Amino acid sequence: MSGGETGPERHWRAALADGRFLLQRARASGTVFFPPRLMEPGSGDAEWDWIEASGMGTVHAVTVIHPKPPETPRAIVLVDLDEDVRLMSEVEGIAAGDIAIGLRVRARIGERDGAALLLFDAAA
């Protein structure tokens, strides 16, 4: 973890390492928000709880990165989670060129360089 991570960021990453995908929800408004932060965006309300994310979402945007061979292309996506938050990640298990806006995806926790990482697969 980097030294610049806030308490909520550290908590989120630790939960991810434990196999849990969490989001924050403001107590007063019920608004779910991401990335992790100390206060609800807009209102500044500091009263919030951690909730388990459904892990389901829809690809909002996709960019395919074409590295030098022999590496294969990979897709960076913006995913609109069913909880009404958007985040950036990658979709695996499907050719990068086959990932399209509107594709339903399911989150899973993977690992890269020894750290837990939130990834997505095409939903069945």
> pLDDT digits over 26-83, tens only?
999 999 999 999 999 999 999 999 999 999 999 999 999 999 989 999 999 999 999 9
Same domain, 72 and 119: yes
Same domain, 47 and 59: no
Average model confidence (pLDDT) for the chain? 93
Same domain, 65 and 113: yes
How far apart are alpha carbons 3 and 22 in whole angstroms?
Answer: 21
- Dig out the tokens for 123 from the structure: 């939903």
Contact 67, 59 (CB under 8 A): no
Same domain, 21 and 61: no
Q: Are strands 86-92 and 115-122 parallel, antiparallel or unpaired?
A: parallel
How far apart are alpha carbons 33 and 39 in whole angstroms?
Answer: 10
- Dig out the tokens for 6 from the structure: 């806030």
Picking from 6-10, 75-79, 97-101, which range would have the lowest pLDDT averaged per residue? 6-10
Same domain, 72 and 94: yes
More confident residue, 124 or 94: 94
How far apart are alpha carbons 117 and 124 in whole angstroms?
Answer: 21
